[in-house]
Structure 1
Amino acid sequence: MIPTLEWLPTGVNFLDQTKLPLEETYVLATDYKQVATVIRDMIVRGAPAIGVSAAMGMAIGIDRSIATTLPALTEEVALIAKTLAETRPTAVNLFWGIDEIRNLYIQLAAKDTAISEIKSAVVAKARRMYDEDIAACKQMGAHGASLLPKEGTVLTHCNAGALATCGYGSALGVIRAAIERGHKIDVFADETRPFLQGARLTAWELMKDNIPTTVLCDNMAASLMRQGRIQAVIVGADRIAANGDVANKIGTYGVAILAKEHNIPFYVAAPWSTLDLATAHGDSIPIEQRDAREVTHSNGKQMTPNGVAIENPAFDVTPAKYVTAIITERGVLTAPYNNSIRAMSKQTESELTAV
């Protein structure tokens, strides 16, 4: 797998996804402010990858701090966390990644741990989170593979693949796992306007794996569903509320409605860290508004009249009633999601307590 991001002695190295599919170039972030810019500018994107990137941003900020006392370092940690938290508000994994490192710091600082030991610990934690994300994606694939058709076409929207994670992918990871188990699957990838994550990224990485892939304009899905040419839909998520409402890339809601109308299963694959149990329903999920230029321009060329109003929400919310199942590394959730999410959460808490 080409690494989406990688911890190096010189900094955190990111595959520049804004340059794909035509250029495979990297951006090296040597401090937490540069990591924040990488996240904000979508050089790295996808909720799981954003979460680990935020953790690495926290770690590199702490590791390269020149603070000589714990009070001074504690003030700096708060600033690092604030800077990273302001990058992309919808992806709950961002805040999870920040909190994983911040909470470890708080625990160690409370024990009056030496600063050098704290630095080593937070770096080690961030690097473990990278490995754990890949393992979680593969576990998602194992849980979800049997849900996909033995033979047929699967539609996906945006990019929920290796590029959106640290490797293997969430939604595309399920597709990969199904193919590894002998399913004969090809993929329809929505282009995903306006940032074209499907056309640029999903198509690129599936072609790298020799998985048959066809790019669709976003408005083609309904017609193809009516023709019986789509057997399942699977997408990722940036935040899942406690009732099963799903925030994902803009356009997902419409695809879910179409799938329901045509009796096509609609699956969501996301790591457990994407579930936001503190948010009761999708109406409370903050929706990121992006720069109008993403709509007005394509490849640097202006496509719209000067002065026209632009609306550019990055995400929409799909109500739980349209979701056939949610696939996580802990297992598959089904409706009613309030109950299944709560039960899986309690089960996990019991297992952690037992350990």
Structure 2
Amino acid sequence: MSVESNSPYTVFIDEAERRVAVLDQRLLPHRVEYVDLKNAQEAAEAIRDMTVRGAPLIGVTGAAGMALAADESTETGFLIEAANLLKSARPTAVNLNWAVDFMLKRLKGMEPDRRRKAAWHLAAEICEQERSMSIRLAKHAQTIIEALYLKLGRPLNILTHCNAGKLATVELGTATAGIYTAFEAGIPLTVYADETRPRLQGTLTAWELKAAGVPVCLIADNAGGELMREGGIDLVIVGADRIAANGDTANKIGTYLKALAAADNQIPFYVAAPISTFDWTAKSGGDIPIENRSGDEIRWVRGIDKHGHETEVCITDPGIATVNPGFDVTPARLITGFITDRGVFVPEDLKDLRVNSHV
């Protein structure tokens, strides 16, 4: 059975019908529903409220938002306003900036009467590029997994954090891409998925892996370090929302702690991300903006009650103060390597990737 056939599509961009629909990931894993986006404002809100998640998918949705904006008006000023609105929706995810800026630059370079058709073509093209990227990245990640399996000579235990799977992209994912293809190639493995508070994206990773038949175990966020200390984890692979030129990496809050535990236990820690996630204008992690989100994400959780009804419950004093950064920065010194669609690079060699990326 192909692992590529078991998850719902995350985004539809219909160039002919000028229609955009996204999977509403706020409802997963309990319901699978799609939301039609009518304009750039709705695209920005879908990004902001996490209807769509994951840096690559956010970028594709941003590109689709620019196509929707061009349907409203092809005037340069209007497109600039739409671009700024979209980019402000999730400031840490650099794929969003990249996709929106790419669209805006291309559209500004042509006559207004050509922009509407071109915008939809470009958005569909970016979507297809992300799909191809995921497949290329998977090949490089699978090589690492295969080498470790041959070295250890036993089934592998791989830990991941947040959701950097199919739901975060338009194909195989980033952190999970090589896991899917390695499993399909017959390598025995089990994935340990951190639940990833407060939005519990790790539960989505577990859901999609289980749907694909990949052995998976959902664990509490704080269990990862103990599993590593016990020798129960062989490899850590995470995704990224923005990677600075020196390799410092912003990813979902909690990633830094996993990297520290991996380093202390001599466990390889890889970051899987496409070239569009690298921000060469950011010299280090200190240049990466960290999004702070609503405290209600900590105070409230959504799920299914014992009667099978969806509900939200408050788990603390509703007036309690909170601090809720959405991301943290893992220093490059804790990262074994970067798995990209253009190969695997250690932090010291990112300068070669930068030259080859023509960015």
The change in CA–CA distance for 1:114 and 1:278 in structure 2 (over 3 A counts) is closer
Report how far residue 310 of structure 1 moved: 0.3
% identity of equivalent residues: 42
Report how far residue 10 of structure 1 moved: 5.6
| 2:323 aligned counterpart, secondary structure | coil
| 1:27 aligned counterpart, secondary structure | strand
Counterpart of 2:336 in structure 1: which amino acid?
T
Structure 2 residue corresponding to 1:106, chosen from 105, 108, 127: 108
Matching of residues 112-127 of structure 1 within 5 Å: 113=111, 115=113, 117-127=114-124
Any idea what the Cα deviations from partners look like across 1:290-348, whole Å, max 9, x if unmatched? 11100011122111114221010000000001000101101111131xxx222122234
- Root mean square deviation, CA, Å: 1.3
| 1:215 aligned counterpart, secondary structure | strand
Q: Is the 1:14–1:28 contact (alpha carbons within 8 Å) kept by the matching residues of 2?
A: yes
After alignment, is 50-59 or 175-184 more displaced? Answer: 175-184
Q: How many residues align?
A: 335
Asked if residue 153 in structure 1 is aligned to residue 157 in structure 2, the reply is yes
Structure 2 residue corresponding to 1:141, chosen from 114, 138, 143: 138
Any idea what the Cα deviations from partners look like across 1:212-249, whole Å, max 9, x if unmatched? 01000001111111221110000000000000000000
Aligned to 2:319: 307
Any idea what the Cα deviations from partners look like across 1:93-121, whole Å, max 9, x if unmatched? 1100111110111211xxxx351x22111
Q: Is the 1:63–1:123 contact (alpha carbons within 8 Å) kept by the matching residues of 2?
A: no
Asked if residue 195 in structure 1 is aligned to residue 207 in structure 2, the reply is no
For residues 227 and 264 of structure 2, the distance between their equivalents in structure 1, rounded to whole angstroms, comes to 13
- Unpaired segments ≥5 residues, structure 2: 1-6, 150-154, 303-311
Asked if residue 185 in structure 1 is aligned to residue 193 in structure 2, the reply is no
Counterpart of 2:59 in structure 1: which amino acid?
G
For residues 244 and 172 of structure 1, the distance between their equivalents in structure 2, rounded to whole angstroms, comes to 20
Matching of residues 44-59 of structure 1 within 5 Å: 44-59=52-67
Aligned to 2:225: 222
Counterpart of 1:274 in structure 2: which amino acid?
T
After alignment, is 8-17 or 311-320 more displaced? Answer: 8-17
Structure 1 residue corresponding to 2:170, chosen from 163, 166, 169: 166
For residues 65 and 190 of structure 2, the distance between their equivalents in structure 1, rounded to whole angstroms, comes to 37
Structure 2 residue corresponding to 1:318, chosen from 327, 330, 347: 330
Q: Is the 1:154–1:231 contact (alpha carbons within 8 Å) kept by the matching residues of 2?
A: yes
Q: Is the 1:11–1:31 contact (alpha carbons within 8 Å) kept by the matching residues of 2?
A: no
Report how far residue 177 of structure 1 moved: 2.1
For residues 112 and 232 of structure 2, the distance between their equivalents in structure 1, rounded to whole angstroms, comes to 61
For residues 305 and 315 of structure 1, the distance between their equivalents in structure 2, rounded to whole angstroms, comes to 24
After alignment, is 303-312 or 204-213 more displaced? Answer: 303-312
For residues 318 and 268 of structure 2, the distance between their equivalents in structure 1, rounded to whole angstroms, comes to 42
TM-score for both structures, normalised by structure 2? 0.91
After alignment, is 249-258 or 97-106 more displaced? Answer: 97-106
Report how far residue 284 of structure 1 moved: 1.4
| 1:44 aligned counterpart, secondary structure | coil
Structure 2 residue corresponding to 1:330, chosen from 342, 345, 353: 342
| 1:171 aligned counterpart, secondary structure | coil
Counterpart of 1:345 in structure 2: which amino acid?
R
Structure 1 residue corresponding to 2:273, chosen from 270, 274, 293: 270
Q: Is the 2:18–2:120 contact (alpha carbons within 8 Å) kept by the matching residues of 1?
A: no
Q: Is the 1:39–1:50 contact (alpha carbons within 8 Å) kept by the matching residues of 2?
A: yes
Any idea what the Cα deviations from partners look like across 1:196-224, whole Å, max 9, x if unmatched? 0001x101110111000100000111111
Structure 2 residue corresponding to 1:43, chosen from 27, 42, 51: 51
Q: Is the 1:47–1:274 contact (alpha carbons within 8 Å) kept by the matching residues of 2?
A: yes
| 2:240 aligned counterpart, secondary structure | coil
For residues 207 and 306 of structure 1, the distance between their equivalents in structure 2, rounded to whole angstroms, comes to 34
TM-score for both structures, normalised by structure 1? 0.92
Structure 1 residue corresponding to 2:23, chosen from 1, 15, 21: 15
Q: Is the 2:163–2:205 contact (alpha carbons within 8 Å) kept by the matching residues of 1?
A: yes
